[in-house]
Structure 1
Amino acid sequence: MVHYIGIDVLRSLYEAILERRDGDVKTSRTAKLFAQGRKRVASKVGEEAVEVVIEAMRDHEQGVVLESADLLYHLVALWADMGIKPDVVLAEMRRREMTYGIAEKLPKGEDSPRVPHINPAPAKNRKTK
């Protein structure tokens, strides 16, 4: 029987990743991942997402479970690398639930609302004529 773990598992994972990211790259896979830089962390998110899709298309339930765990680990590692706390993502999910219902995904584009807790990177200085 599977027991409900709850969303705190993401917070716990986030904290564990923060603790290990500056560790010894010879003994910590997390430290090794972070030493390779953000592009590598981000590419691992994409790689694991594709692996989830492949397992789903093969109807391999256990494979989807295993690859989903890998995907969540790498996604949370990316959040940690970017300084995005899980509660910010969870708050956005809650906002969407309250606005559109839990199953809805917000449209992307110029009309979509901005996430209030994350400031976009400042634009580079541009000279105007």
Structure 2
Amino acid sequence: MVHYIGIDVLRSLHEGIVARRKGDAKASRTAKLFAQGSRKVASKLGEEAVEVVIEAMRGDRHAVVMESADLLYHLVALWVDLGIKPDVVWAELRRRELTYGIAEKLLKDEGAPAPAAAPAAARPKKARKGK
């Protein structure tokens, strides 16, 4: 696996999670997480977000760094679970930067355009009913 500095570290993390998600759950924490299902992947992201907030409120910078790394891992795991590639998220950030400025958070009720859809190959296939 290639290791990058900067934003590409998330692309590298994405590639690593994709490679490990279907591995042996006894040997890989990533495989174990995915074996527990989509709800577990999503709930772990929520847990890590809360831990970042708690450590920030305590003023513990080191703990915030550590928990932030966990948060990013679980965010990327959620992307993998949903078939979202990092470039789709980067494209949405770029769209917002060009439209509103990078420092602006879009209001949800402003009717902002929907994010660009992932290419069909990047989206998970839906199961057919009755099959």
Cα deviation for residue 105 of structure 1 reads 1.0
Unaligned runs of 5+ residues in structure 1 are 120-129
Query: Distance between the aligned counterparts of 2:17 and 2:86, measured in 1?
Result: 12
Q: Which protein is bigger by CA-based radius of gyration?
A: 1
Q: Residue 95 of structure 2 corresponds to which residue in structure 1?
A: 95
Write out per-residue CA displacement over residues 28-52 of structure 1, whole angstroms, 9 at most, x where no aligned residue: 0000000001100000111000000
CA separation in 2, counterparts of 1:18 and 1:116? 22
**Structure whose residues are more often helix by fraction:** 2
CA distance in 2, matches of 1:109, 1:33: 34
Structure 2 counterpart of 1:73 = 73
> For structure 2, which runs of at least 5 residues remain unmatched after alignment?
121-131
Q: Which residue of 2 aligns with 1:86?
A: 86
- Aligned pair count reads 117
Q: Secondary structure at the match of 1:22?
A: coil
- Following TM superposition, where does structure 1 have runs of at least 4 consecutive aligned residues deviating by more than 6 angstroms? none
1:55-78: CA deviations, max 9, x gaps? 000000000000000000000000
In the superposition, the TM-score normalised over structure 1's length comes to 0.86
Identity, % of aligned positions = 72
Deviation digits for residues 57-107 of structure 1 (CA, Å, limit 9, x no counterpart): 000000000000000000000000000000000110111111111111111
- Asked if the contact 2:23/2:31 (under 8 Å) is kept, the reply is yes
